[in-house]
Structure 1
């Protein structure tokens, strides 16, 4: 069995309480998870840059890409380096999800929720893998482009910096969406000094005003 966070997946399905899942649905989730894990080909890539600050501006490396938006700059406060990371479940996962959706609407919904949780796990794995090679460094969580005021328009640049299309088959479509769909690309801060624990927040989420979890005093993260 995979390391997919089942609680997260169930929340994405609309279950606020894992105990509320009936036996039949739980069995279906198990079945869909096994199929997903068999179909997915998780891959990730990362690259580390020195952070160059020029007044209020922040760049990745000498003459490198400028990161836009105040939120990502706050996220990297106190960090000497930044890592650009991209992780994906692969195009095979997209094919699997489409097949599930066409075969059965419920299985399609369950599989999509599981894939979202799986993508987040692979993103965390990418950061853990990077840290294992950087002895003594501490990291923030990965701040994805498109979150808060970190513009999604910077996604093509982030992908270029890690050569994501050639290395792991990830590209940015004309619509601004990443392909394959279950892909996460963003920036994590790195420091040799311990970093204060920064919690993920609802503030920058585009679904904040419509979120059922917030309406019930809960969070999806």
Structure 2
């Protein structure tokens, strides 16, 4: 095998994998029962190719959930969480998270539950963005919760998941859950209310 063909094969494999995930994200909102064959066809790859990347539908579901989390983390990168006050930046994070939730709900609803053991790892890119912001808020004294940034990041992710679950269950409307999330996170951080 030549030195040129191996990088080309890797690049082709990455393109195929990305096309499969793109196809799954496009199909799942309207076709919850879309099987591996339908997703492969939409991606323009063979059944053999889709199974080479994702041996089971569960593997594909985990990869889709990971892609959605990575997209949210990328949006956080673009938000410049070093600008403005820590409280304003924290509210931007919540807005980004909520917009991602709203955009991803049709896919996640039809994706079904993803293995819980993967849940913590899936949030690492998000907490990696939160931690410097939380440290900044704690170091400046703007956040007065008196706990570690690591605990605070975990608590914020957990409260965010609870707010989203309330919407999914129908116990709260989206605006109610979003408002409750903002208030709860500001209280957790010991941050001043906006406008104070």
Q: How high is the TM-score relative to the length of structure 2?
A: 0.28
> Which of these two proteins has the greater Rg computed from alpha carbons?
2
Which one scores higher on RCO, CA 8 angstroms, separation ≥ 6?
1
Q: How high is the TM-score relative to the length of structure 1?
A: 0.26
Of Structure 1 and Structure 2, which has the larger fraction of its residues in helix? 2
Of Structure 1 and Structure 2, which has the larger fraction of its residues in strand? 1
